Amino acid sequence: MKNILRRKWVLCLCMTIMCLMACLATQKITAKAAGDYYARINKGTNVVTIYRSNGTPYKAFVCSTGAATPIGTFYTSQKLRWHELDGPTYGQYCTRITGHILFHSVWYYRMGDVTSQSYVQYNRLGTTASHGCVRLTVADAKWIYDNCPLGLRVEIFYGGSGDDPLGKPSFMRVNGYMGWDPTDPAPGNPYARLFPSINTSGKATTVSYGSAFDHVAGIVAKDSAGNDISGSITYNGWVNTNKLGTYTVSYSVTDALGRVASASVTYYVVDDRSATISGVKSKLTKEYNTTYNVLSKIKASTVDKKNLTKKIKVKVKAPGSKSAKNYKKKTLKLSKTGTYKIYYTVTNPNNNKVSTKVTTIKVVDTKKPKLSGVKSKKTQGYNTVLNLKKGVTAKLVSGKSMTSKIKIEIKAPGSKKYKTLKDKGNDTVNYKKYRFKKTGNYYVRYSVTNPSKKSSVTKKTLKITVKDFGKPKLSGVKKSASYEYGKVVNLRSKITAKLPSGPNVTSKMIVKVKVPGSKKYVTLQTNGDVKKNNSSTKYRFGKVGTYTILYRVENPNKKSVYVEQKTTITIRDNAKPAITGVSNSKTITEGEALNLLSGVKASIPSKSSISVTVTVKNAANGAAVAGNVKNFVFSKPGTYNVLYEAVNPGNKKSVTKKTMKVYVKEKPDNATPVISGVAETKTIEEGAALDLTSGVEASIPSNPSLAVTVKVLDAQGAEVAGDAKNFTFQTAGTYQVVYEAVNPNNNASAKKTMQVVVTEKIQEPDPAPDPALPEAGR
């Protein structure tokens, strides 16, 4: 253990001495121009780029740097053919950059043994893997050793791929634990006898016309060490898959040692497809008895566009036939309904493959069928029976009978829609024994549809007129009714009329009215105006009395056959009267007269004016007050109730009452106020206070206590502010106190003035001193 430590100590000491010597050597060499090159080492990409002295990039080497590789500019100071490295390990072609940092080969396990290189470390070239030195392949380390004299400027920096003008070279990886550096030029290197290879056996040589073709897919290339370098294959030549023929392509690959392998492949572009037939429609539908051009727009060709249209063979299988037959004509007559099949075949002369396409033609008779035996008009008696299909037939243009498919529909009088009839059931749905139970126009519609085309329909219509001359039946007419005056009534409401056969003839009904006091009927209109009172659907009863309403319905087929019925309607006006023009209240002065009926009216619907009675009562005691209601004089103040009453003259129980209140005020007091209690003059001492309102009063006859305003003016007439009930006269002088009272009924005013003399305040003299007393004895 001690020996090992001593050995390491000696080794460190030696390396330190060597570093010092290298530094001294570097200082000496720096001044020299070291050869034609300088080097730049990119730690970021592990690439060494050699530049000519003029700055032109010349060579690039893949390398491995380490975390301890220093950044900066240095100059080489020593070259060592073999040199012991950390470990210890050993390197070839060493060139010292600075200190213990060297260019050298990937390290070896044994000094001088070229077969002991670490393959693990060799394969790590291009990555950060060293302890600080710059590892290279043997060939690259030898190039620097041989071509770059000491003093070579070396710039070490951390950059990106953009800082490597020649890119990052590849290198050939090796397999195993240790061995020769593949780039070592020393004699006996087994890699000198190895070369790259190209294997084309996986590449198909027959290529389908028009297919996608990858020139290198399936071709495998390996370098001198057996590594796959298929991605580096280059080729010369081209295969045009859009042109039949033979093509030769040459392939080449160069490995990291600069050794080349090549091969060539002959390819054959062939037509391995069936010929194409175009223009053939798979399914068609054609009209019966038309023609079809079997070769119109039909073409055939090979994949390389060779025209085979004239080689097309045609066969036709007609409806009902068991097999298809050769057809050489251009036009096919579609004389049968059913399915035709047309077969098109052609042989590709390039490979004898047969192409077949088929057109299926469905031939249909889509034209409107022929319908026979339908008349346009017919007259039929009410309640008779008829076979509506008798003598009626139908068939297709192609001859097929469609009589059983005839559809029979009927539209009875008053109906908006047709009803489909059957060949069974009762006499209202069975077309073989249809009974006409209504009068009017029946429309019998016959239709037959082509089953091949639902829109191809033939229709014919028979008009059958059924008549009924019986007496109409009138329903819903009441014998009498009673309504209130002004009532609007639909005189046709719920009243109907029918013929014996059932048809509704209510619309033919005539309504006539005879108003109270008249001897004649007036015919009302169905579309009349209620305001004009000529409408039978909105008739207004505008008279009190008895109306007579006459209803008449004639048989529309025979005017002389009719029915009449009458209704008596009594009209009364029982409404409560309406009183208008009555105010809620009025205020007047005693002695003033009012026309209590001015603007007041009473009415009922049938009369615009009926009488109104007026009663005046004292609101205080309820006593009635007599007077002329058109000039009623309210002689005393107070509150009065004026009662208005109107009675319907046709119904004494229908009474309306309204009340107006009248407030009567006394006549106003317009006298000039009287002010009392005001003295003519007063004398006080300055600074003394005086109640200016004491004993002062103002009144009018109707009000013994009016408000009095007090104003104090100085000798110059300026108003002096102060409290009138406790007014202090601060300064000596003469003042005018003005009293004023106003009658609120007419703003009449009265004034009185009092003069106040304010004297100066008299100052009391100081008391005189007592007379001197005689001195007392000493």
**3-state secondary structure at position 119:** helix
Provide the 10 A C-beta neighbour count for residue 740: 17
Q: How far apart are the first and last CA of the chain?
A: 142
SS3 content of the chain, % helix, strand, coil (to 5): 10, 45, 50
Q: Which two tokens mark 70?
A: 């220093």
Pairing label, strands 440-450, 453-467: antiparallel
Residue 264: C-alpha distances to residues 33, 200, 204, 222, 251 (Å): 51, 8, 13, 16, 6
CA distances from 161 to 41, 627, 736 (A): 12, 130, 118
What is the gyration radius of the CA atoms in the chain, in angstroms?
Answer: 70
Distance CA(716)–CA(714), nearest Å, equals: 5
Q: Which helix (H) or strand (E) holds 639?
A: strand 638-647
- Report d(CA 340, CA 363) in Å as an integer: 7
Q: For tokens 């039949």, what's the residue?
A: 244
Q: How many CA atoms lie within 13 A of 26 on its CB side?
A: 19
Tokens of 599: 């603007």
Residues with a known catalytic role: 104, 133
Show the tokens assigned to 127. Answer: 């990555």
47/101 Cα distance (integer angstroms): 16
Cite the DSSP H helix spans in 99-180.
Answer: 119-122, 138-147
Nearest Cα to Cα of residue 197 among 263, 257, 249, 264: 263
What is the DSSP code (8-state) at residue 280? Answer: -
Rounded Cα gap, residues 760 and 626, in angstroms? 74
Cα 477 vs. chain centroid, distance in angstroms?
Answer: 62
Give the residue carrying structure tokens 């603007």.
599
Is the distance from CB of 288 to CB of 363 less than 8 angstroms? Answer: yes
Identify the DSSP state of 22: H
Helix (H) or strand (E) holding 483: strand 480-484
Q: How far is CA 88 from CA 11, 27, 84, 137, in A?
A: 10, 29, 6, 19
Residue 484's alpha-carbon distances to 498, 532, 548, 606, in angstroms, are 32, 19, 16, 10
DSSP assigned state of 161: G
Q: What's 472's DSSP letter?
A: P
Rounded (5°) CA angle 219-224-229: 35
DSSP structural state of residue 651: -
Helix ranges (H only) for 629-692 are none
Q: Is 251 in contact with 234 (CB distance < 8 Å)?
A: yes
C-alpha dihedral over 409, 415, 417, 422, to 10 degrees? -30
Q: What are residue 238's phi and psi, to 5 degrees? A: -150, 140
Does the N-terminal peptide bond of residue 88 adopt cis geometry, omega within 30 degrees of 0? yes
Contact present, 384 and 338 (Cβ < 8 Å): no
- DSSP state at residue 431: G
Helices (H) and strands (E) in the chain, counts: 3, 61
Q: Are 366 and 451 in contact (CB under 8 A)?
A: no
| Six-digit token string for 562 | 């009719």
